[in-house]
Structures are given as C-alpha cells and as structure tokens.
Amino acid sequence: MAYILFDDELIRNQLKPFTFTRPVADIRCGILTIRDKWAFRLKTKVTCLSKRYLEEITAESSINTYINGAVCPDEILITEINKLAVGECLVDSNNNVLAMRTTEKLSFPISFQAFQQNKFDGEVSIITQLPHIFLMNGDQIKIDFKLITAGRITQEITDPFTRVYGSENIFVEEGASIKSVILNAEQGPIYIGKNATIQEGSIVIGPVSIDEGSVVVWGSKIRPNTTLGPYSKAGGEVGSSVIFGYSNKAHDGFLGASVIGEWCNLGANCNNSNLKNDYSEVKLYNYATDKLEKTGELFCGLFMGDYTKAGISTMFNTGTVVGVCSNVFGAGFQDKHIPSFMWGGADTEYVDYRFDKALEVIRATMARRNKELTDKDIAILKHVHDFKK
C-alpha cells in the first residue's frame, strides 16, 4: 500500500503564498507539518502530489491510497480511510474529498468523478483558508504533543531561577537551554525541541511549540497558540502565530494572528495589526479569486511567503498577504497585498525584484545557517518569479 497526499486545486490556490513553494501537506500547523503527522500515524513514508514544478517521485504500489493533503489526521479518520475499497472515495459534509483508493497512478489535478462516494460523518480538521493555519494551531499543538511525547520521558528543567506552572504539560528535548524564564502550561502544553533556547526573562504561555534549534530571545512574550518552527528566532510579543522555520523575528515588535513562511526576516520594531479599529470583519486577499474576500474573523494578521524580508519598523495592516521573496520597507502601513518578487514599500513605488539579486540574498541568508540553495529550490523560485501574481 502506498500513501500519497494530494493537493486539491482550489484549496492549493486559497493557501497561497505558502503553496507557491510547497505542497499543501508541507504546511506546518501545530508541532508538525501535515505530511509529518500522516507519516507518524501511518508509520510509513508518504509522498505528495502537486503541481508539476513542485513534483516529487510519488510512491507506487499495486494499490494506492490518495489522501487530501489539507487534512490533519486522527485515528477515527485513518480507520475509515483504511476501510475504503478500490474505486471508492471518502467525502466530508462539505463535499471535500478526503481520500480515495485506486490501482492507478493519478496525476494533478485529480478528477474524482469515477469514484463511488462514501460519506464521513465525523469531525474533520481541514485547512482550506489561510486563517485556518493559526486558528487550528492551538488544537494541533495539543494533538501533536500527545502523539510525539507518548511513552517518552522529558528532560528535567534544572535552572533554579525558572518558574514552571503545569509541569506535567511541558516536554523538553535533549540539549534545550532554559534559563530564568516563566513557563505556564496550565491551559495547554509547551513543547521545547532539541537544542532549542529560551533566554532570560522570557514568558511562554501554552499551548506553544518551540521547535528544534529555535531561540526565544531574552525578554520575549510568547502568547498561546504559537508555533516557532525549527531554527527560527522570536523576540518581542508573538501570539496565535505560526512561523514555519528558518525565519527571524528577533527584535521587539508585535506579531499576532499571523503565519510566516521559511527564510523570512522581520526587522527591528516590525509590527502587524490583527484587529481593526472598528472591530469589523477582516478581509483578506485570496489568490483563487484575485480579490479581497471576507474571512469571517475579527482577528487576522500577516501572511508572509517564503524568503520575504521586512525592513526596520515596517507596519503591516490587518489582514495583509505578502508573496514569495519580496523586500518590503518604508514608513506607513503597507499594501494589503504585495505580490511575489517585489521591492519597495508604502512610501515608495514597488519595482520588480531582480531574480539574480534575489538569489544572491537568499544564498547569503542560507549560508548563515550552513544551508545551500538547491537546483530544485532555484527551479521553484524561477517558476514563481515568471508566473508571479
């Protein structure tokens, strides 16, 4: 049996800018990415089916199970998926196709018309809109925490100047450094990854995930429902936000109800608004419709694609979407939608970001973490650059 996580075309477009550079299943929500959640539970490698430029070698078997890459798994859903016969698919109450079983190797975009539909009546955690990533993050931290810590023993917190509340809900991996901080896990777990660092004077209130190699800068306030992905830095005040990984918000400033991709940087005193002054519903740019759409949310902040950087004291308005590999700076609130590969800001004219210059900056950024831009990375970025929106 091979398991393949497929991109639903509509969902994929609605989750841009993050799906410009990754399959839907590689979005991080909770401690793990969606792909990692399925691999952990299925106890096998899973591959992803997406747009051709993101293509990877998918698993092949005499029987293939295709699973919607926007769906976060649980044991009830997995049980129902494993009951599927060849030629059947599982559909939720909103007519989202959750999974299908076939002897064929399918291609993107998948057509579901030939499959017999079975209804799934249980609850489904499915990420179909950008705000879902931070809205579901707290619950997913709790689920992932139980999943990856079951039967394991946490490292002890030995620092005498660290104050802990709800110690039974805190798990510390090997090599983590925690000094003179407050950890409050009474309302939700706190996961502290391998070699992560929480510096002096910081306050962390769960549910929170601080992943491998990440740093919470001294004096920070990490509010509930926040994920700091691997090898990232967070400073100032961060709440209800997901940072995918390898990104920096190392200085004071507020980040709330937001999602930040990989290899991003928010300069000193960057801030975002996550609530309108008139307390009205936030509208957000939607790549699927190419216009601002109602979110149904009062709190909704910044969504920043991979490799994008913001200069010192940049201000982002409520419900702002920034594409891949842009460089944003200047006084005043930025535009609500900034396309990929743009250079400029609210008080200056936006110009195209030269592809060669962008790669030069990315290489310099990655070298600081002893990483290199691969040929596949460059091909993906070239596609986004040439077809940017």
3-state secondary structure 191-260: EECCCCEECCCCEEECCEEECCCCEECCCCEECCCEEECCCCEECCEEECCEEEECCEECCCCEEECCEE
Q: What pTM was estimated for this model as a whole?
A: 0.96
Look over the chain and give the mean of its residue pLDDT values, rounded to a whole number.
Answer: 96
Confidence class for position 1, pLDDT limits 50, 70, 90:
confident
Confidence class for position 191, pLDDT limits 50, 70, 90:
very high
Mean pLDDT of 212-216: 98
Who has greater pLDDT, 244 or 1? 244
- Does the structure show a pLDDT above 90 at 347? no
- Does the structure show a pLDDT above 60 at 346? yes
- Does the structure show a pLDDT above 70 at 132? yes
- Does the structure show a pLDDT above 80 at 59? no
Confidence class for position 388, pLDDT limits 50, 70, 90:
low
pLDDT of residue 57: 79
Pairing label, strands 265-266, 291-294: unpaired
Mean pLDDT of 347-351: 86
Contacts of 284 (CB under 8 A, 6+ apart): 130, 131, 292, 293, 295, 300, 303, 319, 321, 336
Percent of the chain past pLDDT 90, that is, above it, reads 93
Residues in the chain: 389
Mean pLDDT of 176-185: 98
pLDDT of residue 58: 79
pLDDT of residue 389: 56
Residue 132 tokens read as 């879902």
- Does the structure show a pLDDT above 60 at 174? yes
pLDDT of residue 56: 85
pLDDT of residue 351: 93
Mean pLDDT of 314-320: 97
Mean pLDDT of 107-127: 94
Percent of the chain past pLDDT 70, that is, above it, reads 99
Mean pLDDT of 180-202: 98
Using only C-alpha atoms, the chain has a radius of gyration, in whole angstroms, of: 21
Confidence class for position 60, pLDDT limits 50, 70, 90:
confident
**In 3D, which of 229, 233, 258, 238 has the Cα closest to residue 248?**
233
SS (HEC) of 19-32: HHCCCHHHCECCCC
pLDDT of residue 331: 85
pLDDT of residue 189: 98
Q: How far apart are CA 299 and CA 359, in angstroms?
A: 34
